[in-house]
Amino acid sequence: MNRRRFLLASFATAAVSSGAFAAAPDGETWGKYFTEANAQGTLVVADLRGGKEVVFVHDRERAAQRLSPASTFKIPHSLIALDAGVLRDEFQIIPWDGVKRPIDAWNHDQDLRSAVRNSAVWVFERFAKEIGREKEAAYMRKIPYGNALSSGAEPFWVDGDLAISAQEQVAFLRRLYNNTLPFRVEHQLIVKDVLINEAGRDWILRAKSGWSGKIGWWVGWVEWPDGPVFFALNIDTPNRMEDLPKREKIVRQVLRSLDALPS
């Protein structure tokens, strides 16, 4: 479908910051992608191309529901680690502790890029221990990030009390894109660089996945010369790892339907 016709037929213009969303009609647009994947969840997309702002949502009620961010918290956590001085830059080597873990890519020294790419939990658990829970919470309140809670089971961003909505994820990513978070610009640039998943001649996809065991996330944005397209998806994962590929599949299908990602 032509992108202009798609927008006019299916959605209304709104702003993430205002909490106003246009719901995508199931069966006609995004609902079919969730149905085909046998997935329950929400997806928020904010298209800022061409100097305009169009915000789309699938399942508005769930888009406002706060859930564990899981490894998507590695985005703000990296900024916090850099600002707190427990990490110097993206090149600093974080020595492996020698503990064998179930994911082979975790079982060696890391730097920030590999730790984010491999979602190496132990690296960020080490950062959290050095930073301290109270300081982590203070940083999150300053951003702000979800409910800004660093309490509960460890790691608090997976099994603890920290929670964020898909709406809030998009709002946070927009500030990171614009370098307007309360962190040094050079640190925001570092984190954006390590979030690169793939790129073409005139576009860049920056994204991070997350999984709490029950909820799967994929959040990020696609940069184009005429502006970015932000997204935040979360789905239930009753089949655990079997459901994880659905995260990217659904988002990519939607972005392609908007001409926001090449085929």
Residue 127 counted as domain residue: yes
Can you tell me the distance from the alpha carbon of 47 to that of 54, in angstroms, rounded to the nearest whole number? 5
Residue span of the structural domain in which 174 resides = 3-257
pLDDT of residue 254: 97
pLDDT of residue 13: 33
pLDDT of residue 5: 33
What does the angle CA 234 – CA 104 – CA 98 come to, to the nearest 5 degrees?
115
Residue 263 counted as domain residue: no
Cβ pair 127, 104 in contact under 8 A: no
Can you tell me the distance from the alpha carbon of 120 to that of 41, in angstroms, rounded to the nearest whole number? 25
Residue 223 counted as domain residue: yes
Select which of 68, 71, 165, 212 is catalytic: 71
Residue 83 counted as domain residue: yes
Residue 163 counted as domain residue: yes
Residue 28 counted as domain residue: yes
Strands 54-58 and 215-224, sheet pairing:
unpaired
The answer to whether 71 is a known catalytic residue is: yes
From residue 181, give the alpha-carbon distance in Å to each of 23, 30, 80, 144, 185.
Answer: 29, 31, 11, 9, 8
Strands (E), the chain: 22-23, 41-47, 54-58, 196-199, 204-211, 215-224, 227-236
Residue 262 counted as domain residue: no
pTM: 0.90
pLDDT of residue 10: 38
Residues in Cβ contact with 157 at an 8 Å cutoff, skipping those fewer than 6 apart:
68, 69, 70, 71, 73, 77, 124
**Chain segment 27-80, per-residue pLDDT in tens:** 348 899 999 999 999 999 999 999 999 999 999 999 999 999 999 999 999 999
Cβ pair 55, 20 in contact under 8 A: yes
Domain count, the chain: 1
* Best CA proximity match to 46, nearest among 13, 5, 8: 13
Q: Which strands sit side by side in the sheet containing 54-58, from one edge to the other?
A: 22-23, 54-58, 41-47, 227-236, 215-224, 204-211, 196-199
Residue 162 counted as domain residue: yes
From residue 109, give the alpha-carbon distance in Å to each of 115, 118, 218.
Answer: 9, 12, 25
Domain of 78, CATH number, reads: 3.40.710.10
pLDDT of residue 29: 80
3-state class (DSSP) for residue 50: helix
From residue 132, give the alpha-carbon distance in Å to each of 20, 63, 126, 186.
Answer: 36, 30, 10, 23
What are the structure tokens assigned to 88, written together? 């110097």
Residue 27 C-beta-side C-alpha neighbours within 13 Å: 0
Terminal CA-CA length for the chain: 14
pLDDT tens for the chain, 263 residues: list them: 334 333 333 333 334 444 344 444 433 488 999 999 999 999 999 999 999 999 999 999 999 999 999 999 999 999 999 999 999 999 999 999 999 999 999 999 999 999 999 999 999 999 999 999 999 999 999 999 999 999 999 999 999 999 999 999 999 999 999 999 999 999 999 999 999 999 999 999 999 999 999 999 999 999 999 999 999 999 999 999 999 999 999 999 999 999 999 98
